[in-house]
Chains A and B, each alone.
Chain A
Amino acid sequence: MSAPRRLCTFALDGLLYGIEVDRVVEVVRGPEFTRLPLAPPVVRGLVNLRGRIVSVIELRRCLGLEERATREAPVHIVVAHGDDAVSLLVDAVGDVMQVDLELEPPPDTLRGRARDFLEGAYPLAGRLLHVLDLDRTLDAAHA
């Protein structure tokens, strides 16, 4: 039996994801960001968070998902990454959940980028909570 984990949940392309709540610095809605030319596609730009300049990462692109419909305004989840902070673009933010289940590894049939960046999923009642390996995702985004 594993210790209970506290995860900050969010929605991305219709699925439920979670990241360690300790890593989350804050959640911001709708700050305007500046495009960063020549950067890798997953880096959407830079945003000013009270004087701190933070890279904005499009999580859909990280995971190889489809582009978000333009009229939906994304939500920024700012997370700590090393000494820096990084802002992740997600579709919507959910609650913080305490999970007390066994983590299921990804099935063999899951291929592509999502497989590399998922720790696994918790089988919640009615749906799966996918757990993102934040460091691997972000390291790949910056490479």
Chain B
Amino acid sequence: MTGDDAILREFIAESRENLDQLDRDLVALEAAPGSRELLDRAFRAVHTLKGTCGFLGFPRLEGVAHAAEGLLARLREEGGGSDAPASRRAIAGALLATVDAVRTMLDRIERDRTDGDEDHARLIASLSALAKPRRRGRAVAPARAPRPALARREPPPPADETPARAEASLRIDVTLLDRLMNLVGELVVARNQILQVVTAGEWRRMPAAAQRLDHITSRLQDELMRTRMQPIGIAWSALPRLVRDVAADAGKEVRLELEGGETELDKTVIEAIRDPLTHLVRNAVDHGIEPPAARAAAGKPRAGRLRLHASHQGGQVRLEIADDGAGLSIERIRRRALERGLVARDRAPSLSDQEWIELVFQPGFSTAERVTRVSGRGVGMDVVRTNVERIGGTIAIESREGRGTTLRITIPLTLAIVPALVVSDGGERYAIPQLGLLETVRLEGPSGRRRIESFGGAPVFRRRGALLPLVSLRRVLDTPPLGDPEAAVHVVVVQAEGRVFGLLVDQVHDAFEIVVKPLGEAQRLGVFAGVTVLGDGKVCLILDLPGLARQAGISAAPVDPAAAAAAAVPEAAAPAERLLLAQVRPDWPVAIPLDGVLRLEEIQPGALERPGGREVVRYRGAILPLLRLAAALDPARETAAPRGPLHVVILERDGDPVGVVVEEVLDIVEQAITLDTGSRRRGVRGSAVIRGRVTDLVDLDEVLAPAVAGGGSR
């Protein structure tokens, strides 16, 4: 790599950053033309660009920047704000077109180191015309400012195309880098200690050395993860511009509100969410928000409101995109769904409003452009959902006719470490990301096998009255059969592409937190999301559930809303809750909200320590306070000390982990629950029937309050 290359790369990266800022400033400037600060900043950005590309020798880029600088200089001299609204729009349009042109040239420079052969004469002419000092009484002819290209950009490509250019470089806080350096230093010391132990044969010093290594590794992992964290504001930096362009194009007025832009998440997640987000925002402006006149007639303010809100919630990020537009027309959805055969006519009367609304996520709900114009929302919503699910997220929609639409997206903080269930089939282990996991069912012996029925040759399984299509992992992956055909099989019930199906595997192992690594070439096989290395050092493939569903023909099959609705939305009125099922005693099942659960661990009783009467265990380099759930919920009754390892649910509590000891972890379910609060008591929110058993729903706030108060580890 030559020095020139490095300078060029730096120039491109920095210019792109500046252009993003310039985009926002120009949109803001259009609304507040008098702002000296915005004008100065925009001028400086363009000036710097002009200077640098003159130095690097990109004459065309320099020419465009020069013309834009001239216009900004005039605005600065006049203090801005003196132009008529029409001319202001033209100015903003021309400057934004400049930004687009510069971006195109930067892409070109990155590709083949020239700034292209287009001379952008029209753009320069219109910039120069606008830059002429304004004469009184006559606005400068806007000279047909070229329309910004963004408004015509196509919707995001389908999920299976390669993702957009990902940023290849990253800015890191130097103090963070220093901490990483220090940790690596400590790591080297720990390694030397271990080597010394091994060469000298002083094995009694091994536990201490191993513990030290463990401690440093977890800290290193945490800190390293932090280098990848970025504010989500990066993903929506382009939105003000997008909203402006789309609104101007559609003759709408839209006020964009962005809240929680500082919410941090992994940069790969930010890259992955950018396209779906853009699509949803465009949809909201294009189809959701009504034209000003229609709004006024409906008694709403002329300008529509589009609000984006991001926040952290239980190890995940919640994104809300809400507009106060027309909302979805159930009547129209109904007509279209029946027209396209998405819903059988005899089923139509039994569908609830929410079930109708959910149909917009179905592939094939709307495909032709002709339809999108009248449809309101619906274009490519299936693509949006696929993209969100691809990164282990979920998306839900809520809409009220005449009042607006809200989309709620939940995405993981990071794609680099995910909780996953490890299963094995045909002698190999596979990891299934927990986010797509609903439950597992074990079918033992010949009688269990008989529960797998053949539906015209396709295996199905009766799950609470509904037929669940089964996919044999072995058949999809084309691996040779192995072992005892009479052995138990497991049905892992998963959800992907909006469909619920069962995956047939030989064995279900434990849930782990796995570190996801990219698969390179093999990612193209379409059924693996990546790989991870398990505790024994062997590579384990991570299943890509949406890909698997497609491979197995699940999502290409004609849509059967009856089965999908029965399986995915048991009770459409109540939102599904994700719960961890456990038992505190053999006859006493409890459910813990999965949101707060960090991971599940087994801890050997020998590792327990009891300073000052409370139970703690050393865990990942910190002290983990433990709470026996049975004793907390029912202090009166003595619980027999269990033999064997303790099953510990690690929860996050005010940023610190807390371990809750249960007798056994049963499963994870996602279902809407009807809470019977008659049984409400200390530590229990009420009870509900889950999996046919009356189950107590644990109130974590109440249960954990004493554990944290008494168990502060600092």
Contacts and interface: CB of A to CB of B under 8 A. Distances in A.
A37 B531 contact: no
B477 A53 contact: no
B521 A53 contact: no
Contact of B522 (A33, A36, A48): A36
Given A33-B539, A34-B428, A55 B533 contact: no
A5 interface: no
Q: Which of B429, B522, B533, B541 has the most CB of A within 10 A?
A: B522
A69 interface: no
A68 to B, nearest CB: 18
Contacts of A39: 522, 525
Contact of B539 (A34, A37, A84, A142): A34
B204 interface: no
Given A46-B522, A55-B520, A32 B477 contact: no
A143 to B, nearest CB: 10
Interface in A49-72: 51, 53, 55
Nearest to B536: A32
A37 B547 CA distance: 14
Contacts of A124: none
Contacts of B521: 55, 142
B630 to A, nearest CB: 40
B428 A53 contact: no
B599 interface: no
B527 A34 contact: no
A34 B479 CA distance: 12
Nearest to A47: B539
Contacts of B479: 35, 37
A86 to B, nearest CB: 10
Interface in A73-118: 84
Interface in B489-546: 517, 519-522, 525, 527, 531, 533, 537-541
B654 interface: no
B527 A46 contact: no
A34 B522 CA distance: 13
Contacts of B537: 32, 48
B533 to A, nearest CB: 5
A43 B479 CA distance: 14
A37 B477 contact: yes
Nearest to B429: A34
Contacts of B539: 33-34, 45-48, 53
B538 A36 contact: no
Interface in A18-52: 32-39, 43, 45-48, 51
Interface of B is mostly: mixed
Interface residues of B, number: 19
B531 A38 contact: no
A142 B429 CA distance: 24
B478 interface: yes
Contacts of A142: 521
A46 B478 contact: no
A19 B539 CA distance: 27
A51 B518 CA distance: 12
A82 to B, nearest CB: 10
Contacts of B429: 34
B525 A46 contact: no
B538 A32 contact: yes
Contact of B478 (A33, A38, A45): A38
B540 A37 contact: no
A33 B429 CA distance: 12
Q: Which of A38, A45, A55, A142 has the most CB of B within 10 A?
A: A38
B520 A84 contact: yes
B1 to A, nearest CB: 13
Nearest to A34: B539
Q: Which of A53, A84, A142 has the most CB of B within 10 A?
A: A53
B541 A36 contact: yes
Contact of A38 (B517, B525, B538): B525
Nearest to A46: B539
Nearest to A45: B539
A20 B374 CA distance: 64
A128 to B, nearest CB: 33
Contacts of B527: 37-38
Nearest to A37: B477
A51 B478 CA distance: 27
Contacts of A47: 539
Nearest to B521: A142
A32 B538 CA distance: 7
A50 B503 CA distance: 32
A84 B520 CA distance: 9
A140 to B, nearest CB: 13
Contacts of A53: 517, 519-520, 531, 533, 539
Contacts of B540: 34
A84 B479 CA distance: 27
A117 to B, nearest CB: 19
Contacts of A55: 520-522
A46 B531 contact: yes
A114 to B, nearest CB: 24
A51 B477 CA distance: 25
A33 B536 CA distance: 12
A45 B522 CA distance: 10
A77 to B, nearest CB: 18
A7 to B, nearest CB: 27
Nearest to A51: B533
Interface in B451-485: 477-479
Contacts of B525: 36-39
B541 A34 contact: yes
A83 to B, nearest CB: 10
18 contacts: A33-B539, A34-B429, A34-B531, A34-B539, A34-B540, A34-B541, A36-B525, A37-B525, A38-B525, A38-B527, A43-B522, A46-B522, A46-B531, A46-B541, A47-B539, A53-B531, A55-B520, A55-B521
Given A34-B539, A35-B479, A39-B522, 18 more contacts: A32-B537, A32-B538, A33-B539, A34-B531, A34-B538, A34-B540, A35-B428, A37-B478, A37-B525, A37-B527, A37-B541, A38-B525, A45-B539, A46-B522, A48-B539, A55-B521, A55-B522, A142-B521
5 nearest CB pairs, A to B = A37-B477, A34-B539, A46-B539, A38-B525, A48-B533
Interface of B: 428-429, 477-479, 517, 519-522, 525, 527, 531, 533, 537-541
